[in-house]
Amino acid sequence: MTISKGDIEIIEALGNHIQVHIGAIAMVFHEKVSPDIHVDIYHVAPSSNRPFHTLVSCGMSESAMTVPHGWEDGMFAEVMMCLPEAWPVNMEAFKFEKNYWPVRTLKALARYPHENKTWLYAGHSIAWGAPPKPVANGTKLNSVLIRHARLLSPDATVVRMERGKEIRLWAALPLYTEESEFKDRNGFAALDELLDENNITELLDASRLNVALRH
């Protein structure tokens, strides 16, 4: 077990980027003990322009992911998710799994490529267990898709650091079994289009429409 406080350059760069492109950081949920990389979660509270909570991981980009040749621009990334305005986002509420699970999901995603010597990029999806199980009680969503954020401007999705390092900021979207199977049959682009047709974004809705049921 390693006690890490994270990479200060990444912490400062990501924090500044969030404040410029997303909004004021209301809270940082710090990780006390880290088994490998140090993963904190930044929280931007709802505002008039963005009437929902925004959660962003910080620490996934501490180490380069294992990317295929030619995909070096995807070596560093963080993940984000949005929560409805009424979702309780504070330490007291996070004592209960029904409130905490989106944070747990982002932390698990941040560690996934490093634990498995792989990478995460738009179009990748991760089953929640083998066989897949729901990401939380009360929902049938059981995998997570990595895709381009719909609730961020394009210039907000890349954090540019000194010496040319770039960190991609990907949206995490939980999927149903049928949606994962649709992606396997038809490809990511087809699923991505279907999600857009139904206005499905990274704003979490654990009981949302299953867009693949008719396909």
**Residue-wise pLDDT tens digits, 5-27:** 668 889 999 999 999 999 999 99
Question: Which residue numbers in the chain have pLDDT < 70?
Answer: 1-6
Report pLDDT for 1. Answer: 41
Give pLDDT, residue 48: 96
Within 10 Å of residue 5's Cβ, how many Cβ atoms? Answer: 11
pLDDT the model gives residue 37: 87
Residue 186 tokens, joined: 């038809």
Is-contact 44 54, C-beta < 8 A? yes
What residue spans define the domains of the chain?
Answer: 8-124+146-171
Q: Pick from 81, 28, 25, 83: which is nearest to 58 by CA?
A: 28
pLDDT at position 4: 52
Cα–Cα distance list, 128 to 75, 85, 89, 107, 141 (Å): 23, 26, 23, 13, 9
**Residue 184 confidence (pLDDT):** 97
Radius of gyration (C-alpha) of the chain in whole angstroms: 16
Q: What is the pTM of this model?
A: 0.94
Q: What is the pLDDT of residue 200?
A: 98
List CB contacts of 204: < 8 A, sequence separation 6 or more.
81, 82, 83, 84, 87, 102, 174
Query: With contact defined as beta carbons under 8 Å apart, do 191 and 179 qualify?
Result: yes
